[in-house]
Amino acid sequence: MSEAQVQIPTLQGQRCLLRELRLGDAPSLAAHADDVDVWRNLFDGFPHPYTLADAEAWCGGGWREGGHVWGIEVEGQIIGCVGFEAQAGWLRCNAEIGYWIGQAFWRRGICSEALRLVTAWAWANQPDLNRLCAGIFAWNQGSQAVARSAGYTLEAHWPQSAFKAGHLIDRVVWAAYRHQVSPASSLSFDPLTITP
């Protein structure tokens, strides 16, 4: 996705402001990201230690390679990120969403609000999307609570499906749908009527 294609609007909540990242955000981001308790709940692409150089690379434009990404601003500082990346082709109705904030801001409802804001924006502005999903390490009860609070549903448990720090671990998938899903309506068409 080129820089010209990604437009990141500012989204205002009651607990946080979501906005485009800027190079000047790097010191704050690095301070919150360089925490082993943050790192242990994120995928291996998230470095540890998280240096100022890592933050400068991300805030200076690296975030644009990850789809739609917002910095989460609280009390005038960037404390984490939230974003999603849509899949392509026949899976374009899906996007993977992720989020994290610094430990000093945990358990205040900030991340749940950020997830709700981005989910609502996705439904309003990404017409092909119908499902947003968050793959979460099974041990991460905090991130699961964020997803639950934001209206996501536990969709799957994937045993032994990822490596973290050299260990094989379980993941769970939480998802939100543009249209409510019920067992009776899961098949919304007769596949025999589809024609090329």
Instruction: Give domain limits for the chain.
Output: 11-132
pLDDT at 2: 44
pLDDT at 188: 56
pLDDT at 31: 98
Q: Beta 94-101 vs 131-137: how paired, if at all?
A: parallel
pLDDT at 66: 76
DSSP run (H or E) holding 39: helix 36-39
CATH says 11-132 is which class?
alpha beta
pLDDT at 3: 42
pLDDT at 42: 94
C-alpha neighbours within 13 Å on the C-beta side of residue 111: 22
* CA separation, residue 109 to residues 55, 102, 136 (Å): 24, 13, 18
- Mark residue 191 as left, alpha or beta (left: phi above 0; alpha: psi -120 to 50; beta: remaining): alpha
Answer positive or negative: Cα dihedral of 67, 134, 24, 26: negative
The type of residue at 95 is A
Q: How far apart are CA 144 and CA 172, in angstroms?
A: 9
pLDDT at 84: 97
C-beta separation of 69 from 95 below 8 A? no
* Ranges of the chain whose pLDDT falls below 50: 1-4
